[in-house]
C-alpha cells in the first residue's frame, strides 16, 4: 500500500553539495520545502548549489557531521547523504568514510530524534557486496568482505543501517532506509572514478575507454531524477525500509562503454584493464517493494538518461575550453 503524504516544511540534507545531495536540495525546494544543507566539501562542491544560493528558502552551512550537528529551529526531515560514494574517494579516505557512516549517522539520528523529524538514511546496493543472490531483494543479507578494500564503505553503510534501526526500535525515531543503486546524471565529478563519468570523459576527449576485466560484470543504472523521486517518496511516507531504489535495467560494463561511444560519436577504442579487488560481478535491484509500498518505479529510459548526461558533460568541457582559451 502507498502511505499518505506527510507535511514537510523544513528539511536538513547532509552531503547536500554532492552530486545526489544537490539534486535532492533542488527537488525539495521545488516542493516548497525550506532546505538547510550541511556539507564539509570533502567530495561535494558549492558550485553544485550555485543556482540555489539566492533562494531565501535555502541555506548552505559548512559542517562536518562527524564532529557535531546543531540546527536551530524546527526540522521535519533529516536526509543523511554525507559520505564519499565512489571507490576512488573511499579508498583515498577510508577513515573519513567509516566516521561519516558511524559518528555522522549517530549525530544526525540524534538531531532527528531531538526535533521529532522523519529521518532517511542513504544506504547503498554495496551492502549486498558481491552478491550470491540475483537480483538483490531487501531480505538478502549480502556477501561482504569486511577487510577488503571496499569494506570501509560497505561496512560503514551496514553499520549505519543497524544504528538507524536501533534508533527506530529503541527510541521510537521515525526512520527510513533507502538502498541506492548506481545513480548517474549531471553534476557527477568527471574524476570520481565511477564508470559513467569516466567513460563519457574518455569518449569526449578521444581517449581509450578503460573497461575493467572482460567487461562482463553488470550494473543497473538509474537516472538521478528517478532516484530522487524514489528517495522523496520514502521521505514523505512512513515506511522504515530498507527499500531498494534503482533501475532494474541491467547491462554489462562493456555494453555501457560501447553505448557511450555511440552516443558521443567518438572514435575512442576500448582498452581492458585489471579488475579491482572484490568488484561485484552482478548488480540488479528487485524493486517490487518500492513499487508496492511507495508507488515508485523509474521512468527515464537509460538511453535518454545517458543522452542528457553526455550533453551535460560536453557542455562542461566547452565551458572549460572557453575559459582556458
Active-site residue numbers? 153
The DSSP secondary-structure symbol of 32 reads T
178 close to 121: Cβ distance less than 8 angstroms:
yes
The DSSP secondary-structure symbol of 167 reads I
| Cα 168 to Cα 163: distance, rounded to the nearest angstrom | 9
Strand intervals (E) in 193-269: 209-212, 218-220, 222-223, 243-245, 250-252
Entry field: residues in the chain: 325
| Cα 142 to Cα 123: distance, rounded to the nearest angstrom | 13
Paired strand residues for 245: 180
| Cα 178 to Cα 161: distance, rounded to the nearest angstrom | 9
Alpha-carbon torsion (243, 246, 250, 251), positive or negative:
negative
Amino acid at each position: 500500500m502507498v502511505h499518505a503524504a506527510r507535511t514537510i516544511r523544513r528539511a536538513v540534507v547532509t552531503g547536500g553539495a554532492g552530486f545526489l545531495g544537490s539534486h535532492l536540495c533542488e527537488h525539495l525546494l521545488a516542493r516548497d520545502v525550506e532546505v538547510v544543507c550541511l556539507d564539509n566539501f570533502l567530495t561535494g562542491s558549492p558550485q553544485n548549489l550555485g543556482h540555489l544560493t539566492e533562494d531565501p528558502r535555502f541555506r548552505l552551512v559548512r559542517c562536518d557531521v562527524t564532529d557535531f550537528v546543531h540546527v536551530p529551529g524546527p526540522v521535519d526531515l533529516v536526509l543523511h547523504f554525507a559520505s564519499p560514494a565512489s571507490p576512488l574517494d573511499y579508498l583515498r579516505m577510508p577513515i573519513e568514510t567509516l566516521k561519516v557512516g558511524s559518528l555522522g549517522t549517530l549525530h544526525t539520528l540524534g538531531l532527528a530524534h531531538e526535533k521529532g523529524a522523519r529521518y532517511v538514511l542513504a544506504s547503498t546496493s554495496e551492502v549486498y557486496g558481491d552478491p550470491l543472490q540475483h537480483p538483490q531483494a531487501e531480505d538478502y543479507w549480502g556477501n561482504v568482505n569486511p577487510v577488503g578494500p571496499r569494506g570501509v564503505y560497505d561496512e560503514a553503510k551496514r553499520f549505519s543501517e543497524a544504528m538507524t534501526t536501533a534508533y527506530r526500535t529503541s527510541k521510537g525515531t521515525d526512520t527510513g532506509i533507502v538502498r541506492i543503486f548506481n545513480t548517474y546524471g549531471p553534476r557527477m565529478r568527471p574524476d570520481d572514478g565511477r564508470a559513467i563519468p569516466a567513460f563519457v570523459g574518455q569518449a569526449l576527449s578521444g581517449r581509450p575507454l578503460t573497461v575493467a576485466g572482460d567487461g562482463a560484470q553488470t550494473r543497473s543504472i538509474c537516472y538521478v531524477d528517478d532516484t530522487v523521486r524514489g528517495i522523496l517518496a520514502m521521505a514523505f511516507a512512513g515506511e522504515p525500509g530498507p527499500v531498494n531504489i534503482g533501475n532494474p535495467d541491467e547491462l554489462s560494463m562493456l555494453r555501457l562503454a560501447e553505448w557511450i561511444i555511440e552516443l558521443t560519436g567518438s572514435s575512442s577504442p576500448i582498452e581492458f584493464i585489471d579488475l579491482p579487488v572484490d568488484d561485484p560481478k552482478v548488480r540488479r535491484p528487485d524493486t517490487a517493494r518500492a513499487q508496492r509500498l511507495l508507488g515508485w518505479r523509474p521512468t527515464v529510459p537509460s538511453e535518454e538518461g545517458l543522452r542528457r548526461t553526455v550533453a551535460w558533460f560536453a557542455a562542461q568541457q566547452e565551458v572549460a575550453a572557453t575559459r582556458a582559451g
